[in-house]
Amino acid sequence: MTLHLDLLRHGETELGGGLRGSLDDALTDNGWEQMRQAVLAQGPWDRLVSSPLQRCARFAEALGARLDLPVSLEPDLQELHFGAWEGQSAAKLMETDAEALGLFWADPYSFTPPDGEPVEAFSLRVRGAVLRLHQRYAGQRVLLISHGGVMRLLLAQARGLPREQLLNVEVGHGGLFSLRVEADGVLSEGV
């Protein structure tokens, strides 16, 4: 059986921009509105699953209450941990660590930010969580509220992109995408 998984990226955050990673900043009013607009006339969903970081979880809780849907938090769907780069913008890193940033952008699987989480480990963590969601909720439609990195990873795999193109996948704040997850873990884009 197929799991229908809608992916919603959190909206704009208070500390804005840069590599947010595991930093737990809240949504701005605009960020809330971006997410509300994204889900208008969407669904229906059987349940909501969210990253536990507040920029995702607070919206999931509010939407779950409004739609009377169960909400569960999944720690393995948190954003990539960027280590020493957390909270820094790409512009700032170009000034202080341009060569390393270039290596990361060229192939994030081959270069890990200082004290960061390797993308290979991140991929295994996220894919494991998605397989568990399939085991629990196959045949259902689930809204997953998460982060740009999680969504890029899943969309790149669904699109069959080479790993070097991971960071080329565009996922804006409040972006909503649909995936089908099969029992064997194969991902495809669309409802």
The position carrying tokens 């509220």 is: 145
Give the whole-number percent of the chain exceeding pLDDT 90.
96
Q: Provide the token pair at 62.
A: 């509010």
Output the pLDDT for position 186: 96
Q: How confident is the prediction for the chain on average, in pLDDT?
A: 96
Domains delineated in the chain: 3-189 (3.40.50.1240)
The conformational region for residue 87 under phi > 0 = left, psi -120 to 50 = alpha, else beta, is left
Q: Judge whether residue 151 has pLDDT over 80.
A: yes
Rounded average pLDDT over 96-117: 96
Give the list of residues 6+ apart from residue 47 with CB closer than 8 angstroms, or none: 69, 70, 71, 72, 137, 140, 142, 143
Output the pLDDT for position 18: 83
Rounded Cα gap, residues 191 and 178, in angstroms = 6
Residue 37's identity, in one-letter code, is: Q
CA angle 175, 78, 82 (to 5 degrees): 100
Give the whole-number percent of the chain exceeding pLDDT 70.
100
Output the pLDDT for position 17: 73
Rounded Cα gap, residues 71 and 9, in angstroms = 16
Output the pLDDT for position 142: 98
Contact 126, 77 (CB under 8 A): yes
Q: Judge whether residue 63 has pLDDT over 90.
A: yes
pLDDT digits (tens, 9 = 90+) for 24-48: 999 999 999 999 999 999 999 999 9
Rounded average pLDDT over 10-31: 92
Residue 88's pLDDT band (boundaries 50, 70, 90)?
very high
Q: Judge whether residue 16 has pLDDT over 80.
A: no
Residue 159's pLDDT band (boundaries 50, 70, 90)?
very high
What is the chain's alpha carbon radius of gyration, rounded to the nearest angstrom? Answer: 16
Q: Judge whether residue 190 has pLDDT over 90.
A: no
First to last CA, the chain: 14
